[in-house]
């Protein structure tokens, strides 16, 4: 019997609500703290930096949150996204496991990031905000927010991590095409950027530094707010449209996942594919495994500290309860730029702490190797970030083969790699290596943190 290769939903089957997992969490996460007073951050404080809509959702404990019609209208450009049976990969691995992936690479920017960029721009626009600032690593988030900002008539400044600005010039062109201003970070445009340049000459930059710059500019400019592409609970919330669609599609396929896998930067695409299935673990006692695939060079879940830490490198954001490598940690310049972040979002961290999520470290060379096998078996060249999820999916499929079990594996293909070919070229040229963080480097960065 031929397997159905891809399961596509109609536009009218697109979910109308995002799923807010906090409503079902057995242990609620600790509150964010104001860095000065050490008191819980209030919604009003949060609104100084973020849109009111984002603040509302960040603090909401409602299980379901309606997706505004204007947001659903834009989602229709690329949603619902296909669920694909990785039959080619199954064959290449000769595994009895059934492998499915949710293909978020079909969005116009080639990744899941647009799922949160659209609502974030929308909430700013209805509040009368004129300018947005943000950071971007590999450029995926900056590209996504560029599209959404242009659509809703906001102007956007993107601080792009310097190493990515140099490694991925086309991402910058993409942002320019959508009308955004792009500045390599650390820059000389902000006070904190000048400070970073002075303290760390020749730094490759980091997401933490770029966040500090974007935050500074948002706070110092009228009618401006900041938007973040990962980590925060409202971002994870927006991404649950991935898993809500996947639930419907898995049902049509007549399967239910034993294992759900996502690559892990700050946790948003992982949360997006996982949370809607995790609901069954939390509420109905299901036993699905959830594996977060992180780079061995930035291993916050497996080797980080569970502590209160800042979201940025300078220490201006609220203190967030998170698995972290320390906000001063500067990740190696690996080619999965979107995974070069020191911390994990608070819901994901609490759920990992409570045993619902497993972290797994993946080496850069293993990730690229998995990405190339996937490209040849399935035809899609994955983003270097996504190759981490693919690598874990392959490990699990091979384990199923060893055990002779017909496991159902679902992973999120968070993006395609067509603008990342320079990274693939460097892999083919033998220029890349594995980098495993020395324990002392982690220890010295988490030493002073408020441990949980």
Which positions touch ligand PLP (CB under 6 A)?
A: 111, 113, 138, 140-141, 230, 263-270, 338-339, 383, 385-386, 414-415
- Looking at the Cβ atoms of 146 and 414, the one nearer to ligand PLP is 414
Strands 289-295 and 259-263, how do they pair?
Answer: parallel
Residue pair 364/295 in contact (Cβ under 8 Å)? The answer is: yes
Shortest Cβ 103–ligand PLP spacing (Å): 12
Strand, coil or helix: what is 208?
helix
Shortest Cβ 234–ligand PLP spacing (Å): 12
Write out the two tokens for 184: 């390599």
The full DSSP string for 80-137 is SPPEEE-HHHHHHHT-SSEEEEEEGGGSTTSBTTHHHHHHHHHHHHHTT--EEEEEES
Shortest Cβ 66–ligand PLP spacing (Å): 23
- Looking at the Cβ atoms of 335 and 407, the one nearer to ligand PLP is 335
Residue pair 85/378 in contact (Cβ under 8 Å)? The answer is: no
Shortest Cβ 5–ligand PLP spacing (Å): 22
- Looking at the Cβ atoms of 193 and 338, the one nearer to ligand PLP is 338
- Looking at the Cβ atoms of 378 and 385, the one nearer to ligand PLP is 385
Write out the two tokens for 135: 């950071």
Shortest Cβ 41–ligand PLP spacing (Å): 21
- Looking at the Cβ atoms of 290 and 400, the one nearer to ligand PLP is 290
- Looking at the Cβ atoms of 197 and 312, the one nearer to ligand PLP is 312
Write out the two tokens for 236: 């994870």
Whole-number Cα distances in Å, 17 to 63, 83, 133, 150, 269: 10, 19, 27, 24, 17
Shortest Cβ 383–ligand PLP spacing (Å): 4
Distance CA 442, CA 311 (A): 16
């Amino acid at each position: 019997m031929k397997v159905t290769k891809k399961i596509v939903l109609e536009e009218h089957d697109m979910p109308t609500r995002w799923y807010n997992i906090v409503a079902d969490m057995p242990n609620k996460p600790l509150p964010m703290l104001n860095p000065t007073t050490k008191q819980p951050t209030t919604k009003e404080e949060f609104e100084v930096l973020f849109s009111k809509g984002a603040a509302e959702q960040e603090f909401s404990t409602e299980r379901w949150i309606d997706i505004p019609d204007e947001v659903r209208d834009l989602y229709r450009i690329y949603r619902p996204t296909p669920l694909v049976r990785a039959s080619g990969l199954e064959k290449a691995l000769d595994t009895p496991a059934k492998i499915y992936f949710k293909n978020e690479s079909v969005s116009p920017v080639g990744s899941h990031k647009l799922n949160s960029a659209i609502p974030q721009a929308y909430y700013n626009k209805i509040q009368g905000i004129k300018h947005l600032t943000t950071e971007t690593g590999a450029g995926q988030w900056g590209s996504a927010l560029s599209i959404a900002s242009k659509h809703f008539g906001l102007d956007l400044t993107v601080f792009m991590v310097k190493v990515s600005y140099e490694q991925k010039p086309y991402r910058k062109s993409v942002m320019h095409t959508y009308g955004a201003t792009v500045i390599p970070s650390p820059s000389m445009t902000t006070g904190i950027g000048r400070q970073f340049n002075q303290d760390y000459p020749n730094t490759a930059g980091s997401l933490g530094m770029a966040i500090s710059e974007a935050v500074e500019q948002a706070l110092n400019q009228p009618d401006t707010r900041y938007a973040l592409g990962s980590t925060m609970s409202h971002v994870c919330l927006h991404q649950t449209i991935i898993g809500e669609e996947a639930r419907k599609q898995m049902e049509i396929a007549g399967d239910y996942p034993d294992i759900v896998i996502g690559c892990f930067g700050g946790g948003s695409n992982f949360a997006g594919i996982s949370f809607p299935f995790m609901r069954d673990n939390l509420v109905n006692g299901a036993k699905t495994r959830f594996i977060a695939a992180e780079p061995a060079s930035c291993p916050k879940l497996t080797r980080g500290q569970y502590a209160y830490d800042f979201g940025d490198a300078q220490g201006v954001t609220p203190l967030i309860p998170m698995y972290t490598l320390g906000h001063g940690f500067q990740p190696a310049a690996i080619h999965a730029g979107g995974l070069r972040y020191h911390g994990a979002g608070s819901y994901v961290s609490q759920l990992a702490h409570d045993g619902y999520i497993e972290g797994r470290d993946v080496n850069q060379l293993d990730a690229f190797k998995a990405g190339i096998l996937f490209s040849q078996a399935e035809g899609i060249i994955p983003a270097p970030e996504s190759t981490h999820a693919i690598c874990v999916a392959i490990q699990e499929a091979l384990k199923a083969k060893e055990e002779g079990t017909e496991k159902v594996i679902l992973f999120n293909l968070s993006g395609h790699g067509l603008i990342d070919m320079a990274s693939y070229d460097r892999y083919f040229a033998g220029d890349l290596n594995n980098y495993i963080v020395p324990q002392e480097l982690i220890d010295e960065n988490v030493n002073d943190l408020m441990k949980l």
